[in-house]
Amino acid sequence: MPIINSTLHPTVKIWHPELVNIYGSTIGENTKIASFVEIGDSKIGRNCKIEAFAFIPPGSIIEDNVFIGPNTALTNDRYPSAKPKAWSQEPVTIKRGASVSANCVICPGVVIGENALVGAGSVVSRDVLPCQVIHGEKAKFQRVLIEE
């Protein structure tokens, strides 16, 4: 897995560089990245910690001192499809000092506020206020999908 077209501060620690996929990104000083992480066309701040199997898609902004737990996925496509379609990216922003626990999904366009805490296994579909602690989400019927 490559690290290409990216700017990594010399103090960035990637535990197994051969086991990450990083492209078109900027990563700040003292950030630590575990194995099997994908970061694409994103900006990662200083002193962050990104755990194994995290997925950070294009457009994401991770500010300084942020923790991203293992198996956490940020998303940037509200209506994903394998069919060709018009697409507008809706990036996620995680503000300074926030922590996102293990196995979370952060939905497109969400902003997680400064020093907020997202509990393990959460699906975050709305913005999180600064210093707010949130957790959980139950899936519920929304609508019938009509194919075009």
Give this prediction's pTM.
0.91
Residue 97 has pLDDT above 90, yes or no: yes
Higher pLDDT, 2 or 8: 8
Lowest mean pLDDT among 25-34, 36-45, 53-62, 76-85: 76-85
Mean per-residue pLDDT of the chain: 92
Rounded Cα distance, 88 and 56, in Å = 17
Rounded Cα distance, 76 and 90, in Å = 5
Rounded Cα distance, 136 and 134, in Å = 7
Q: How confident is the model at residue 139 (pLDDT cuts 50, 70, 90)?
A: low
Burial of 114 (0-12, 13-18, 19+ CB in 10 A): middle
Domains of the chain by range and CATH?
1-148 (2.160.10.10)
Interval 23-48: pLDDT, tens: 999 999 999 999 999 999 999 999 99
Residue whose C-alpha is closest to residue 105's, from 92, 88, 96: 92
Q: How confident is the model at residue 5 (pLDDT cuts 50, 70, 90)?
A: very high
